[in-house]
A and B are shown apart, each in its own frame.
Chain A
């Protein structure tokens, strides 16, 4: 089952159990709920910024879903804490491009770090939304935070 192990890499299975960032967040400046009606997966992302309003001081999520969506949210938290809004946006774009690649190309490890483990998901069209769930939610939070800052 080499195909399956390409999808469910150990780091993904580990993240799906570790669930970094799973929990509530006080004093959030932005919050966004995402729902995938085809499988019922749902997730609420919350972020808090530093005093200057430039960096993600902390992010956290609450949700329920398949191992891919939960692992992806966990890996997202590891990658994004402390990033500026611009850095975060750049990484969301890179992650989305990787998931749209249908397995082609080499993901940017410098930019995405452990999240490159989700490159294998891009070959499974029906699972791309699972991996994107938390990233889309964070993207909406960033938009909301920018609007509040402006």
Chain B
């Protein structure tokens, strides 16, 4: 049992990254979708513009998935390498867990706030569709922090040898 503790901690880290990112994105994309549906009932031609806004906070889920995949690939979970999984020391597993935390927390929080910015952006599209580019930029400003979280998690996962 103890032989797998390291692997369990590492997998927990990957799972956290994927789940938190995914849940945050799901909440945010869902909220933007509701706002977007309201605009489309008034004017179906704005579908394309609000769709982009809806997709924007979806990237955090993708980033979380990415971290989980990279990590699982590195520790040999994807290839099913039992010996490699057993070889992970508990402390190293804990390091992997910590490496995933920036993406898990940063992804979850930034997704929700990016969603809120995107909802406000849907309002811009409703009233001034020609300014939809600016609405996209507002939402994208929040994404910076998801990208930074992704980056630090990637560097940490790659860095743990």
Is A bound to B? no
Residues of A within 8 A of B (CB): none
B contact residues vs A (CB 8 Å cutoff): none
